[in-house]
Structure 1
Amino acid sequence: MYLADETWPDLGAYFEDESLAIVPLGSTEQHGPHLPEGTDHIIAEGFATAAAERTGYLRTPTINIGVSPHHRQFHGTMWVEPPVFRDYVESFTRNLAYHGIDRVIFVNAHGGNVQHLREVGRRLRDDNVIYAIEWMWNDSIPELVEELFAQPGPHGGPKETSMIQHLQPELVHDDQLEAARDGGMTSFDPQSVQKHGSRTFYDAIDNTANGVLGDQTDASAAKGEQLFEAASDQLVDLCEWLAAQPFEALMPKDHV
């Protein structure tokens, strides 16, 4: 069920029976010369839509601009400052609580949002308002990602390329896959970009001239479909698990 497509009486019937909502979040930022700037929110919305259709749970509109200042040097990247993002998402989620939702899954496809969504979830839980958790698709199927790709990314790499080739292939510039690989950073190891144990870079461009990492030529729509189906199963299972939990069990424990 998609919230924006429903009438308010129909939504009232949902809120009487259910207490879970699925909130897709992503970003609008550069993803190299081959992928659209909407890559992250397209992926998040794809997963949220699939989970809502399979489970019947409510999906909200997508939050499609996130915390992306580390991509700001590239044309068209949009972002909001972290405190603004946190306050907006918290207000958005409290809005759901007002209507009777008491648990939310943030279906997130942008790494820059993760720590901020965790903080929002803690704020809401500490206030005993709502239980909100962040879900990231590739974190739900790490073994499959490693099996399919020698160099998956993490940004604009073959896993995201494969996903967009599956979800919206018309948006992928397939003729730019080699250029994306050759102009970016093919092999990424977090330790390789540290100095004496310190993460000394702040922006993507500090490590990759065209903004992407990984071997984009290793992508395919078939791999994207495989990833999408496997991660969708994980999200559906998470929805069902969360819906089955007593609300009291999700709230903070008492002081010892």
Structure 2
Amino acid sequence: MLIHLSSWPEIDARLNDGGPLSRTVVVPIGSNEQHGPTGLLGTDWLCPEIIAHEAEAGEGSLIVAPTFNIGMAQHHLAFAGTISFRPSTFMAAITDWVSSLARHGFDRIYFLNGHGGNVATIEATFAEIYAQWSFATPSLKQPSAARDAVATNNEQPPFVLKLRNWWDLPGVNSLCNQIFPTGHGMHATPSEIAVTQAAYPDRIKTADYSPRIAPVGPIRDALDYRARFPDGRIGSDPAQASPEKGRRIIEAAVPALIRDVTDFAGEVLPGV
């Protein structure tokens, strides 16, 4: 079930049907940023969306939220078309997504990420969200029994959060390294570009670039990045991508995602 293509009564009914995945939701999350001279700007949000939507089509009980398509991309801002949040804005937006979904009864919220630059901030956001419960204290004005009750109620949030990069799904990264033993790199990789080519074959881009395998180095501010990596690639040779290779990666990622989400939904929480 895709939330954005459903009505509110349909979502309400699914939340209350008692199924094993009825209160678990997958949120594809990524970034809109440059991906070298041949990669689509939406690559980092398209990859998790493509995988999540194919998983939803194959596993009817999977619920997928609209894609969170803007992330942490300040270091790409020297390239046209990149859109980025500040860390504080990104954290606030994720918090509001979690609060909205939890309000309706989703108690397992699974973020399927497509941008490595998001990871630190998403994890920090999870910690901040959990801290709202961990640091909660009862009012000293309440009788001791009431304070104990409030403290007990505030010990554990009514939901759990999980972050998974799509390439870290079991078996996926090893397959990518097998398909692309050299020139896989860290950004504008042939694997991620191949995934988008498989889903959007009419949007395949070509370009001449040199060197064939891009240099590697640190990632800092936007102008430093542009000076170090003038065409946007880091360590990669995206010309190796093809729709056929992308289809192989998707076909490995989809069942791995379904298993991972199912395991997450079935996780037994202590004290619950």
Conserved 8 A contact 2:54-2:254: yes
The 8 Å contact of residues 31 and 156 in structure 1, kept in 2 or not, is answered as yes
Deviations along 1:130-169, one digit per CA (max 9) or x if unpaired, are: 2111111112222112111112122112112211111112
Alignment correspondent of 1:69: 74
Equivalences for residues 101-112 of structure 1 within 5 A: 101-112=106-117
Greater share of residues in helix: 1
Give the percent of matched residue pairs that are identical in Structure 1 and Structure 2: 27
**Closer/same/farther in 2, CA of residues 184 and 96 from structure 1, 3 Å limit:** farther
Gap regions ≥5 residues in structure 1: 194-198, 252-256
**Aligned pairs (5 A) from 1:83-122:** 83-122=88-127
Separation of aligned partners in 2, 1:136 and 1:38: 16
CA contact (8 A) 2:215 2:229 kept: no
Q: TM-score, normalised by structure 1?
A: 0.86
**Corresponding residue SS for 1:59:** coil
Corresponding residue number in structure 2 for 1:242: 264
The answer for the alignment partner of 2:175 in structure 1 is 144
In structure 1, the residue corresponding to 2:183 is in which secondary structure? coil
Per the TM alignment, residue 185 of structure 1 is displaced from its structure 2 partner at its CA by: 5.1
Counterpart in the other structure of 1:15: 15
The 1:239–1:39 alpha-carbon spacing in structure 2 relative to 1, beyond 3 Å, is: same
Who is 1:43 aligned against? Answer: 47
The alpha-carbon deviation at position 236 of structure 1 amounts to: 0.8
Partner of 1:31: 35
Q: How many Å apart are 1:87 and its aligned residue?
A: 1.0
Separation in 2 of the partners of 1:223 and 1:28?
23
Please give the per-residue CA displacement for 1:91-114, whole angstroms capped at 9, x wherever unaligned: 111110000011111011011111
Indicate if the aligned counterparts of 1:124 and 1:131 stay in contact, CA closer than 8 A.
Answer: no
CA distance in 2, matches of 1:19, 1:187: 45
Given that residues 102 and 247 in structure 1 are in contact (C-alpha distance below 8 angstroms), is that contact kept between their aligned partners in structure 2?
A: no
Decide whether the 8 Å contact of 1:185 with 1:208 is kept in 2. no
RMSD: 1.9
The within-5 A match list for 1:125-204 is 125-126=130-131, 127=133, 128-140=157-169, 141-149=172-180, 150-173=182-205, 175-176=206-207, 178-179=208-209, 182=210, 186=214, 188=216, 193=217, 199=218, 201-203=220-222, 204=225
Q: Conserved in 1, the CA contact under 8 Å of 2:107 and 2:158?
A: yes
Q: Distance in 2 between matches of 1:37 and 1:145?
A: 21
Q: Distance in 2 between matches of 1:226 and 1:200?
A: 30
Residues 64 and 9 of structure 1: is their aligned pair in 2 closer, same or farther, counting only changes over 3 Å?
A: same
Matched AA of 1:232:
V
C-alpha deviation, 1:123, in angstroms? 3.0
Structure 2 regions of 5+ residues with no counterpart? 134-156
Q: Provide the secondary structure at the position in 1 that maps to 2:31.
A: coil
Which residue number corresponds to residue 59 of structure 1? 64
Q: State the TM-score, normalized to the length of structure 2.
A: 0.81
Instruction: Write the distance in 2 (CA, Å) between the matches of 1:23 and 1:113.
Output: 14
**Displacement, 1:59?**
0.8
